[in-house]
Amino acid sequence: MTAPIITIDGPAGAGKTTISRRLAQLLGYRYVDTGALYRGIAWKADRAGIDVDDERAVRRLLEELQLEAVWTDDGAMRVLIDGRDVTDELRTPRISMLASRMSALPVVRQCLLGLQRRLGREGGCVFEGRDMGTVVFPDAAVKIFLDASLEKRARRRYRELGDSGQRLEEVREDIRRRDENDRSRQLAPLKMADDAVRIDTSDLSIEEVLSEIAQLVAQRQ
């Protein structure tokens, strides 16, 4: 029997990355940050200066792209584009918005669907994203949907960005727009799977969220 897959979906700033990483550590599973894959494609498109509304140009870019995920000894996922580790360049506001726009394109989603399923082939993974429980792994053993109020999510992201120069209002507006994009796209929009468990992290500590999920995982096993 292959080890289970746990999916953690939800909007930006709901705490997915922190929780998924910690959960994976706790269970001895592999942590897969699928947002970083979309960001990797956006990074390359930005570098190449292509118009993301030009489907042929995007298709060509994807054909030439070498996108890989590798893991460090401490379980962190790194993204390699054409052999170069670009992970530290992926979490800027510009790449966030571009990744959200590009993630609405069918060619981009198709390209990543296969890669994500290959990464999960052996099980024993925590997958973080937007459509993990709905589209990529509909049979996942445990599905979580993390949510929080817009205000809480904006404040978390603002703290994370540190002295990036972005004001709180700008971060809030970026998150709001990105969620709207992610929820309203036709293909694999951000939404909770029917059989997912929703956890509102607005007033919970990381430890509280983790313990709730760990209990669910134990119950299902």
C-alpha triplet 59, 102, 38: angle, nearest 5°: 95
Instruction: List the beta bridge partners of residue 105.
Output: none
The Cβ-side half-sphere exposure at 187, using a 13 Å CA radius, reads 14
The answer to whether residue 38 forms part of the interface with ligand DC (CB under 6 A) is: yes
Please give the structure tokens belonging to residue 2: 């292959």
Helix (H) / strand (E) containing 174: helix 168-184
User: CB under 6 A: which stretch of 57-65, 75-83, 125-133, 162-170 binds ligand DC?
Assistant: 125-133
Range 194-213, binding ligand DC (CB under 6 A):
none
SS3 180: helix
The answer to whether residue 174 forms part of the interface with ligand DC (CB under 6 A) is: no
Contact criterion met (CB below 8 Å) for 102 and 52: yes
The answer to whether residue 182 forms part of the interface with ligand DC (CB under 6 A) is: yes
The answer to whether residue 137 forms part of the interface with ligand DC (CB under 6 A) is: no
User: CB under 6 A: which stretch of 18-26, 56-64, 118-126, 130-138 binds ligand DC?
Assistant: 130-138
Q: Taking CB positions, which residue lies at the least distance from ligand DC?
A: 35
The answer to whether residue 120 forms part of the interface with ligand DC (CB under 6 A) is: no
Per CB under 6 A, residues contacting ligand DC are 12, 34-35, 38-39, 96, 99-100, 103, 129-132, 178, 182
